[in-house]
Structure 1
Amino acid sequence: MKINYLQQPKYIPLAYITSSSRDFITTTAINVELSDGREIIIPKGYKTDLSSKPKWLWSFLPPFDERLISSLIHDFLWTNKLEEIKHHGNIYKAFVFSNNEFNKWNKSLAPNSKLKNWLEYQFLKNFSTPFYIGKKNI
């Protein structure tokens, strides 16, 4: 499956992992074009929770809406951070790129969800650094 930059996919090939409380796996590989022109390949069998925010936030900021692909891309960029650090030159630039990419996709895919998009981006930008650098687990 190929997704061009900021393209809304017709479907996202995910399967729910029933043994888990909130994890999914991709059922086919997904090639995604990013804002910097690179293409990432999210492999078949990639495990994701789509959104590592606490479940109590899901009612207001659901991971299952038209912005779902942005969560999948963001999760992949985070779990593939060693490659991202190599590409961007340092951990800070990789962190900023992944959050900015998430924000760009959210704004494009859900332009009427300005408040939700802004809140999620602010949370990532201001509170997720310890999680990204591995000092805390979700």
Structure 2
Amino acid sequence: MTNAYSQTKYTGYQYVLNSDDYISFKYTREYKTVGENYVTIYKIYHPTKGHHAFTITATHYKADKKVKVDVEDAGGGIFAHINSEETTYDTASMEPFGFRGAVGALGGNRVPNQLMVKFVSNKYENIKVVHVNATEPGTNNFYFYVLDEKN
């Protein structure tokens, strides 16, 4: 028996600063609640091979007014963790929030923000990731995921 359920696949892109390239990919998005926190899980699919390549997990700690975004290689292993970014807010609103970052400030308008998130609704619980830096520490290859700019 086959599963008739299929998740909506959205289109995002990876921005590679070193080559100034935009690489399109498909992704899925899932919302869930874990205790008192709100979690959004993105599965990023390889642009040409189609397999689940990266996972981006955004956790909204509502009581602390904090959002943490983790980027990980879906293949696992001891080097699977790529990057973590955090931001806070004083008053929840529907406007995107986060921070520009040094690479964005140096690179100009074409470079996405180091971290930019927004709330899904005026309940101010679940969030969407708009931009996140996915550069592995210690490397000179700066890249960013651009997800929910329009979705």
Normalised by the length of structure 1, the TM-score is: 0.29
Larger Rg: 2
Normalised by the length of structure 2, the TM-score is: 0.27
Q: Which has the higher helix share?
A: 1
